[in-house]
Amino acid sequence: MANHSIPLSKQQGTYALVFKCGTPFRAVAGRLGPISLTTGYWVYVGSAFGPGGLHSRLAHHLKPSTRPHWHLDYIKHALHPIEIWVTADEVKREHDWAGKISTLKGATRPIEGFGASDCQCLSHLIHLPRRPDYSQFLKQTEKIKPADSAFFRLVLDK
């Protein structure tokens, strides 16, 4: 996993990290236990409302973890980050986003509880057989996005 520069301030907000998985693999994800990831694309949805905001959280997710804390820390070494979808606002949208992304064509949530140990969501990790389309995501979230929210996309790799 390469280090990426994150051009974000310490604003709070919600993010979706889009990864490509070229080789299936297994891992033990903390208390979640053993999990398996297949090839394709994986989207991890989270929020950053602590100190350092989006910049700190995304910088953490995009570098190797020596001491895993979040479920993503246990698998990110085997994934290639390709995009980040972000909104910098004070509303926690991760639950809505996970639900909306899971309705994209071909999407599944095969790892129950991943990234969702503190909520009632099925999972905050979504698998797609093809690269997810940002414009489709924007259409899906149109009804839950207030007019003053700034949504944007950072492309890390084509």
User: What confidence tens digit (pLDDT) does each residue in 122-157 have?
Assistant: 899 999 999 999 988 888 777 665 555 677 778 888
The pLDDT assigned to 103 comes to 92
pLDDT below 50 — which residues of the chain?
Answer: 1-3
Q: Domain spans of the chain? A: 13-155
Residue closest to 135 by CA, chosen among 83, 93, 96, 90: 83
Q: What is the pLDDT of residue 144?
A: 60
According to the model, what pLDDT value does residue 1 have? 47
Residue whose tokens read 């994150």: 6
Contacts 24+ apart (CB under 8 A), 102-109: 102/126, 103/140, 104/128, 104/132, 104/133, 104/136, 104/137, 104/140, 105/130, 105/136, 106/130, 107/132
Question: Is this prediction's pTM over 0.85?
Answer: yes
Identify the pLDDT of residue 78.
Answer: 94
pLDDT at site 34: 96
Instruction: Return the exposure string of 29-51: e unless at least 16 CB atoms fall within 10 Å of the residue's CB, then b.
Output: beebeebebeebbbbbbbbbeee
